[in-house]
Amino acid sequence: MDKFNLSMKGLDELFSSQEMRDEEKLAKIREIPLSEIDMFPGHPFKVLDNEDMQHLAESISIHGVVTPATVRQKPNGRYELISGHRRKRACELAGLETLRCEIVDMSDDEATILMVESNLHRSVILPSEKAFSYKMRLEAIKRQGQRTTSTCTPVVYKSSGVKSVSLIGEETGESREQIRRYIRLTELIPPLLNLADSGALKLRPAVELSYIDKENQELIANSGIVPSYAQAQKLREQYDEYGCIDTDILAEKKTASKPRKLSLDGSLRKFIPPTVKDNELEDYIRKALEAYSKDNKE
């Protein structure tokens, strides 16, 4: 019989209509002065005053903030911004004094998880942003020991390192190894991290350099040379063995990668026009697959 005992709260939730729930949510949405809203501590995503931001500011000046930002109230009465850092900045640029917000009640870890999840939908995410957001998300999962689905149903989740990384992988589409690589970037000094964000320093060599201490990383950054993967491996091996590095490694000529040559056997080559040369096969096949994919979508 115990399973039929419902609390009053359970009955209220059972018989409440969607309209009532929507009204309750609306009651938590209000205009909050920008001067009372603080950034999320350690927010890893950059808010840039670029062309996209200008378009957002223009849209908000005309239509207002369509999707409310998410905040939680702090003990001192101010508000902490969880989701909506770009919207807040756009309001400032548009000359507005308030931001339309939904006020939620969340723990530190719940707020961290929501902050990261809401920003990972951006079209462009820099390596440094992935690095620190994945790290924050992983630490929050480990502390929390459980997560909440989009329907707010508690889901018990063992927070071992491997399983926590796997969870992030499921949410982001990244492999476990790729997530670990990004998290390693949090060990880089800012100049090297900036090189990774610009694309000059690739992910794999950046990971190798992350195992070298900050002092020796400074030597690498000051050399003015961006290490290749092979050079980064040598620097790490040298550091592991001697505790220091020799930047002469960076002066070594980078080995040029040999162009890949694609070859097909007779059963497949017959589908390719004879005018297409062997060194043009890869480009031809790629374009053919793109056309095929486009036709299927249409």
Q: Is the pLDDT of residue 147 over 50?
A: no
Query: How do residues 222-248 score in pLDDT, each as one tens digit?
Result: 999 999 999 999 999 999 999 999 989
Number of helices followed by number of strands (H, E) in the chain:
14, 7
Banded pLDDT at 56 (limits 50, 70, 90):
very high
Query: How do residues 263-296 score in pLDDT, each as one tens digit?
Result: 666 667 677 787 777 777 777 787 777 776 656 5
Gap between the Cα atoms of 229 and 234, Å rounded: 9
- The three-state (H, E, C) secondary structure of 241-294, written as one string: HHCCCCHHHHHCCCCCCCCCCCCCCHHHHCCCCCCCCHHHHHHHHHHHHHHHHH
Nearest to 165 by CA among 142, 188, 132, 147: 142
Of 154 and 186, the structure prediction assigns the larger pLDDT to 186
Which of 22-31, 218-227, 248-257 ranks highest by mean pLDDT? 218-227
Gap between the Cα atoms of 199 and 217, Å rounded: 18
Banded pLDDT at 164 (limits 50, 70, 90):
confident
Gap between the Cα atoms of 100 and 64, Å rounded: 9
Task: Please spell the DSSP secondary structure of 88-121, one letter per residue.
Answer: HHHHHHTT-SEEEEEE----HHHHHHHHHHHHTT
Query: How do residues 127-138 score in pLDDT, each as one tens digit?
Result: 999 999 999 989
Contact call for residues 85 and 165 (beta carbons, < 8 A): no
Banded pLDDT at 159 (limits 50, 70, 90):
very low
Nearest to 187 by CA among 169, 213, 164: 213
The residue-averaged pLDDT of 30-53 equals 94
Contact call for residues 88 and 81 (beta carbons, < 8 A): yes
Of 80 and 261, the structure prediction assigns the larger pLDDT to 80
Residue 24: what pLDDT?
58
Banded pLDDT at 171 (limits 50, 70, 90):
confident
Residue 295: what pLDDT?
61
Residue 18: what pLDDT?
59
Residue 106, Cβ neighbours under 10 Å: how many?
A: 17
Query: How do residues 90-103 score in pLDDT, each as one tens digit?
Result: 999 999 999 999 99
Is pTM, for the whole model, over 0.85? no
Structure tokens at 291: 């056309």
The residue-averaged pLDDT of 147-169 equals 53
Q: Supply the mean pLDDT for the chain.
A: 82
Of 298 and 31, the structure prediction assigns the larger pLDDT to 31
Residue 208: Cβ-neighbour burial (10 angstroms; 0-12, 13-18, 19+): buried
Beta pairing class for 98-103 and 69-73: parallel
